[in-house]
Amino acid sequence: QAVLTQPPSVSAASGQTVTVPCSGSYSNVGENFVSWYQQLPGTAPKLLIYDNNKRPSGIPDRFSGSKSGTSATLAITGLQTGDEADYYCGTWDNRLSTGVFGGGTKLTVL
């Protein structure tokens, strides 16, 4: 049972926009930075967004992140078939003193 809550799957048509929500609590999302990871099949996760809304070098600006209170959101615009992957949110939980992740969301591009 993941500490952070994500929908198991989302889908949208090629070229459209999709959002992936991540819900937590004050002790994790509410108090700490949120990051997002993209995991293509059979590969290691890749950092997509850090510090709630910053993109590492090389990540297209089609990917963006935001945070409000105890929820965070990943948005992907101009969807491409290559974006089909699992997406995870992650942060630290001050009450548990552990790193925590969402259960992951599988993106399908129709």
Q: Which residue, 2, 77, 90, is CA-closest to 38? A: 90
Residue 91: how many other CB atoms lie within 10 Å: 25
Find out whether 63 and 82 touch, Cβ atoms under 8 Å.
no
Q: How far apart are the first and last CA of the chain?
A: 29
Per CB under 8 A, 94 contacts another protein: yes
**Between residues 31 and 84, which has the closer beta carbon with respect to another protein?**
31
Of 18 and 38, the one with the shorter C-beta distance to another protein is 38
Residue 59 within binding range of another protein, rule CB under 8 A: no
Q: Is residue 65 a contact point for another protein (CB under 8 A)?
A: no
Residue 5 in contact with another protein, rule: CB under 8 A? no
Q: Does 10 bind another protein (CB under 8 A)?
A: no
| Residue 26 φ then ψ, to 5° | -60, -35
Q: Which residues bind another protein (CB under 8 A)?
A: 2, 27, 31-33, 35, 37, 43-47, 50-51, 56, 88, 90, 92, 94, 96-104
